[in-house]
Structure 1
Amino acid sequence: MYSAEINRRQPALLLFAIDQSFSMKDPWAQTGKSKAEALADAVNNMLGNAVLLCSRGDERVYDYFELGVFGYGADVTPVLHGSSRDQACLPVSQVAENPLRVDTMTRRVPDGAGGVVSMQQKMPVWVDAETNGMTPMVAAFTTLEPVVKAWCTSHPTSFPPIVINVTDGASTDGDPRDVGARIHDLGTDDGKALVFNVHLSGLTNQPVLFPSSVAGLPDSNAKMLYELSSELPSSMLEAAASMGYTVTAGARGFLYNADATSVIDFLDIGTRSVTPTGLKELTDGTDRPEGTEDV
């Protein structure tokens, strides 16, 4: 399970729900930016890395991923530039071709040796910071559920969808665990959908990263987000360990009081973890024989 090769006939889905409530205006510790601004930077960084992972030297971008980003606050809506309610998830080549704009900023990119480095680059921007409304997490997951279900039906042999929810607070419209469990029960022949959660904090409290139990979690909201989160498959455990994180069997895809660096790393784990068996000709520098590029 969780070992399907990623190719253009079997793409992977990366789907994000990002909190855009009023409280996201608050500063994110040590970033010099609001939570909304720093989170938008992290999401754009991840989207840029996904494009790079699917690119060749001739600038072709191969559709090994489909990407969707929903914001939730005053409303729940697709916020990835070029997407819409009718087409919430876009092939990575379409994402690459259609940024909102291009800014200059610091990006964390793979160094080719299993780590990441920071560098100044021109960076496409697909998602802008927004802050408005409450934190309707139930509505967000309820909106994602049919998107995940339809995608699984259309891609029965693909790597299961990865859903990542990023928030700085508690749900204001009820308990999202039931709808989260329904999403997790969806899936493909390769396994159930993966639901991960990231909690942002403006505090300098010690973060809790990839816990395997509720021990050490400070409150009921942290425990709720933990229970809402899937266990990391072995490939993701390895990806997290390669980034220097301490993970054990049973660790869940959950960060509490996460700092900016941890969030950037976490968003990249979804893309990096599927590359050992998929994207082989892109990650080892080899080309496939002519006529087999779609495989």
Structure 2
Amino acid sequence: MNYQTQASGNTPALIIYLLDISGSMTLEFEGQRRMDVINEALQTVIRQIVYRSTKGAKLSPRYRISILAYSDEVYDLLDGVRSIDRIANRGNLPQLYPKRFTDTAKAFKQAEKILHSELSNMNDCPAPLICHMTDGIYTGEDPEPIVKRIMDLSVPDGNVLVENIFVTEDAGIGRVKDARSWKGIMPNTFVTNSYSDKLKRMSSVIPESYREMMIESDYSIREGSLMMLPGTSRDLISLGFQMSAATPMK
């Protein structure tokens, strides 16, 4: 369980994006609505995945992706898990639009259902990853027990990975001046924001194979850091989405 299995057309990686579309996503963030910043970051990471899956003129189905937007309900934007070549062929992704509340537990339950339906066919594939983006505390049921169950699921390559991007002006860790020189959040990093602390507990340690990919992209994430991003700037949000697609690749 060392997260070294390489994504290929025969052994594709599975990424599930969980995206908070509650009403607060209409708030301004660096001159744009938070929702628009997330739309752009998602479009960018899909282009990155297409690039990483292309050899010559051929786009290989090295990634399978699900995109679940959630508020008080969960919306399956791709109508199921779709391979990256099919996503590329359909053109632009559906746009995200803000709704009402933040039922994070319901979103993770839907992701858990997807994993239970997929894992039996993934013994030779990279460990799946859930990339969760939110801008505020959940409403309703506590999602942490559900996330802990998910993190206990595994394939031979390793346990399911959970990453969290917390879009906020203050994540409780102080100001990050430069995303590329930022060292990351460690399990013992003290945070003053109580929801940041909860998201820490809901985040996997970044596998060394993923971290090496980020180092090659001129980031400075320390060994043992969590897959927890304080989305206090556009650059940190972008780093979070890039990290989700840093799967080892053939």
TM over 0.5: yes
Indicate which of 177, 181, 187 corresponds to 2:148.
Answer: 181
1:91 to 1:50, Cα distance in 2 relative to 1, 3 A: same
1:209 to 1:41, Cα distance in 2 relative to 1, 3 A: farther
Residue pair 1:211, 1:252 contacting (<8 A) in 2 also? yes
Residue pair 1:214, 1:226 contacting (<8 A) in 2 also? no
1:39 to 1:148, Cα distance in 2 relative to 1, 3 A: same
Matched AA of 1:40: N
Deviation at 1:63, TM superposition (A): 0.6
- The match for 2:179 is none
Deviation at 1:214, TM superposition (A): 4.5
1:63 lines up with 2:73 in the alignment? no
Provide TM-score, normalisation by structure 1.
0.77
Task: Give distance in 2, aligned partners of 1:209 and 1:227.
Answer: 18
Task: Give distance in 2, aligned partners of 1:40 and 1:46.
Answer: 10
* Amino-acid identity (%): 19
**1:186-244 deviations in whole A, cap 9, x for unaligned?**
12111100001000014696148631134331222111000000001101222233344
Q: What is the 5 A alignment of 1:138-177?
A: 138-177=105-144
**1:18-69 deviations in whole A, cap 9, x for unaligned?**
00000000011x2x211111101100111111112112332x3111100111
Residue pair 2:185, 2:228 contacting (<8 A) in 1 also? yes
- The match for 2:11 is 10
Task: Give distance in 2, aligned partners of 1:210 and 1:89.
Answer: 30
Could you tell me which runs of 5 or more consecutive residues in structure 1 were left unpaired when the two chains were aligned.
100-124, 279-295
1:259 to 1:236, Cα distance in 2 relative to 1, 3 A: same
**1:172-197 deviations in whole A, cap 9, x for unaligned?**
11321111011111121111000010
1:34 to 1:51, Cα distance in 2 relative to 1, 3 A: same
Residue pair 1:7, 1:63 contacting (<8 A) in 2 also? yes
Task: Give distance in 1, aligned partners of 2:93 and 2:60.
Answer: 19
Provide TM-score, normalisation by structure 2.
0.90
SS in 2 for 1:272: coil
Runs of 4+ aligned residues of structure 1 deviating over 3 Å after TM superposition are: 202-205, 242-246
Deviation at 1:74, TM superposition (A): 3.3
Alignment size in residue pairs: 242
Task: Give distance in 2, aligned partners of 1:66 and 1:240.
Answer: 21
Task: Give distance in 2, aligned partners of 1:149 and 1:209.
Answer: 34
Task: Give distance in 2, aligned partners of 1:64 and 1:186.
Answer: 21
Matched AA of 1:262: L
**1:109-133 deviations in whole A, cap 9, x for unaligned?**
xxxxxxxxxxxxxxxx203131011
Matched AA of 2:85: S
- The match for 2:246 is 272
- The match for 1:47 is 46
Task: Give distance in 1, aligned partners of 2:159 and 2:37.
Answer: 30
Could you tell me which runs of 5 or more consecutive residues in structure 2 were left unpaired when the two chains were aligned.
177-181
Deviation at 1:250, TM superposition (A): 2.0
Task: Give distance in 2, aligned partners of 1:173 and 1:195.
Answer: 21
Task: Give distance in 2, aligned partners of 1:228 and 1:72.
Answer: 18
Residue pair 1:209, 1:254 contacting (<8 A) in 2 also? no
**1:255-280 deviations in whole A, cap 9, x for unaligned?**
124311121122122323423xx2xx
- The match for 1:25 is 26
Indicate which of 83, 86, 104 corresponds to 1:91.
Answer: 83
Task: Give distance in 1, aligned partners of 2:102 and 2:162.
Answer: 18
Task: Give distance in 1, aligned partners of 2:117 and 2:49.
Answer: 22
Matched AA of 1:263: I
1:222 lines up with 2:214 in the alignment? no
- The match for 2:100 is 133
Task: Give distance in 1, aligned partners of 2:183 and 2:201.
Answer: 14
Q: Which has the greater radius of gyration?
A: 1
- The match for 1:194 is 161
Q: Which moved more, 1:234-243 or 1:197-206?
A: 197-206
